[in-house]
Structure 1
Amino acid sequence: MQLLPPPSPLTPPPPVWEKFLPPEYSSLILESQVSTLKKELYFSLCNNPVLIEDGQKSFWLEKASGKRCIMLSARQLAITWGNSPQYWQWISIPEARFKKVPELLDVCAFEIRGWMNTRILSPRTHYSAYVVYKTRSGCHGFRDLPIQVGICLVGQKATKRFICFDEELMKSKEREDGWIEAEIGDLFNEIGCDEIELSIIDITSPYWKRGLIIQGIEFRPVKKLW
C-alpha cells in the first residue's frame, strides 16, 4: 500500500468554525471584521449581541452549541396603554440594548403580549423564554403580587405559571449585565415555521403599579443537564 504524502503546509485547513456561524453571518458583522478569522467571528457573535431588523431584535449565539439566541425588544410587544404617556414612558438608558425601553409610570391593569415567528430560532432546539427587566427605587404595586405568564405555539394550549417582580420572593434572577430575568416558560422549536405567542398579565389586582422597566423577551436554548 502506497502512503499518501503529508498535506502541504500551505493547504488551508477545512472551515471548521464556519459551520458554527449562521448562514447570514456576513450581514451581522462590521465591515472591519470581514477579513477576521471565522473562529474570532464566532466568539464575537457569542460575546457581543448585535441588533437586527431595524434594531427591534438582538441576536447572538450560545457559545457551547452555536445555537441562536434572540431578544425581542419591548417595541415589538403589545403593552396595554404602552403608547399613553400618562401610563408608560419610553426612555433611553445606557445599559439597555435598544434605543428606547418602556418605564411603567402608573397602571392598574398590567398586560403585555407578544408574538414571534420561530424561523429566527435554531430548529430542533428546546428554548426557554425570559422577561428581562429592572425596577426603579420607587417601584410600587408588585409586592407579593403573582403575575400570570404563558407561552405556546399559536394553536396550542399555553403553559401557564406565575412569576413575581418582587425580588424578595426569589422568583427572579439577577444577570451579569445588571438586568433581572424571570422565566416565562419553554417550548420546542421543531422546524422553524410556527408562531410563538406569549403573555404577561395581571388584570385582577386592584393595586396601581409603577417603577418597572422592560427591556424585552429573551429566548435561549435550554441548558442540558448531563
Structure 2
Amino acid sequence: MGANVSGDRSDCDGDSPSTSYRLRLGDIPESCVALVLMRLDPPEICNLARLNRAFHGASLADFVWESKLPSNYGFIVEKVLQDTTLFNLAKRELYARLSKPNSFADGTKVVWLDKNSGGVCLSISSKALTITGIDDRRYWSHISTEESRFRTVAYLQQIWWFEVGGELEFQFLVGTYSLFFRLQLGRSSKRLGRRVCNSEHIHGWDIKPAQFQLTTSDGQQASNKCYLDNPGNWVLYHVGDFVIRNPNVLTKIKFALTQIDCTHTKGGLCVDAVLIYPSSLKKEVTTCLQG
C-alpha cells in the first residue's frame, strides 16, 4: 500500500457478522486503517504506526497526510520556499519537512508547521526589521548568540528615538493569529559554562511604556502598551491578534515597537524576532519561548 494507497473504501464493506469477529487487529485492511488514521492528529498516527504492519503501511498513505497538510502548503512550497522539488516527496515526508524550520528571504525569516495541529507558524529575524539607527555602532550592534533561532540579535546600547518595525505578506489559513515581539533586557553570554547577563546598559524602560502596534491590509488594527521588564530573561510581548477570513488572498501585516519620548534615553535591549502563531497555540508558545 504505502504512499500510493488509493481512497477506495470497498475493502471496508461486505464483512458479515459471522466472519468479522474472527478478524485480528493485523487482519484489518490497510485502506480501512487509513480511513481511521485520517481522523487522528499526526502524533497519534505516528504512534499507531508502530502497532503492526497494516498500521505502518496505512500511516504512509498519501491521502492520510494530504488531510493533515494545511490547504496553503502549495503556496508555502512554491512561493515562499521556492522549492518545487518538495512536491516530489510523499505527503508524509512533506509534512515532516514542513514541520521543521524552513528558512526563506535569505535566511531572515522562517516558516514551519506545528507538529500537532499543522498550524502555520512564522518567525522574522531582527535583520529583516527596519530599526532606526541600526547602522550606527554608537547605538546598535548585531551580536551572536545561541539563544536565537537566527543565531544573532540586535542589541541597543543607548538611543533617544527607539523605533523597530517590519511587515510580512503571506497567504494565511482561516483563523485567528497572534503576533509577538521576543525581547530581552540585558545582554546574555556564557562564562565558565554558566549563563550570565550584562545589565550595565539597561535604562529608560521604566519611565514610559513601549508602544506595540499592528495593522493588516484589510483594515484590522491592534495595539498594546507596556513597560519592558524582567531583565536577563527573554519575554514574548503580545502585540495583538488578527483574523483571517479569506484564505485565498495575500494579507499584508505591518507591525511596530516604539518608544519615541525624547525626554530620556533608553538602552540595554536585545531584539530577537517577531513571531506569528495561530492563537490556539498562544499558551504553548509563551511557555516554550520565554525565559
Contact persistence 1:134–1:214 (CA under 8 A): yes
| Bigger mean CA deviation after superposition, 15-24 or 66-75 | 15-24
Cα distance between partner residues in 1 of 2:176 and 2:220: 17
Contact persistence 2:123–2:275 (CA under 8 A): yes
Q: CA deviation at 1:99?
A: 4.0
Q: Deviation digits for residues 114-152 of structure 1, max 9, x if unmatched?
A: 111022xx3112100000012212321112531111111
Scaled by the length of structure 1, the TM-score of the pair is 0.77
Cα distance between partner residues in 2 of 1:92 and 1:146: 28
Scaled by the length of structure 2, the TM-score of the pair is 0.61
Contact persistence 1:144–1:166 (CA under 8 A): no
Q: Deviation digits for residues 16-69 of structure 1, max 9, x if unmatched?
A: 23443444569799xxxx989927x746754x5332232111222223321110
Tell me the equivalent position of 2:105.
Answer: 53
Q: Greater helix share, 1 or 2?
A: 2
Equivalenced residues, count: 209
Q: Greater strand share, 1 or 2?
A: 1
Task: Give the partner amino acid of 1:200.
Answer: L
Measured at CA, do residues 212 and 36 of structure 1 come closer, stay the same or move farther in structure 2, by a change above 3 Å? farther
In the alignment, does 2:230 pair up with 1:167? yes
Q: Match for 2:177 among 105, 122, 127?
A: 127
In the alignment, does 2:214 pair up with 1:151? yes
Q: Match for 1:184 among 228, 232, 239?
A: 239
Tell me the equivalent position of 2:41.
Answer: none
Percent of aligned pairs sharing the same letter: 25
Q: Match for 2:139 among 78, 87, 104?
A: 87
Tell me the equivalent position of 1:201.
Answer: 258
Q: Deviation digits for residues 53-101 of structure 1, max 9, x if unmatched?
A: 3211122222332111001111111111112111100111122111432
Measured at CA, do residues 52 and 20 of structure 1 come closer, stay the same or move farther in structure 2, by a change above 3 Å? farther
Measured at CA, do residues 125 and 107 of structure 1 come closer, stay the same or move farther in structure 2, by a change above 3 Å? same
Tell me the equivalent position of 1:3.
Answer: 14
Structure 2 residue ranges without an equivalent (≥5): 1-12, 16-26, 31-52, 187-198, 283-291
Cα distance between partner residues in 1 of 2:220 and 2:89: 47
Q: CA deviation at 1:156?
A: 2.1
Task: Give the partner amino acid of 2:209.
Answer: P
| Bigger mean CA deviation after superposition, 146-155 or 74-83 | 146-155
Cα distance between partner residues in 2 of 1:67 and 1:224: 9
Structure 1 residue ranges without an equivalent (≥5): 169-173
Measured at CA, do residues 126 and 37 of structure 1 come closer, stay the same or move farther in structure 2, by a change above 3 Å? closer
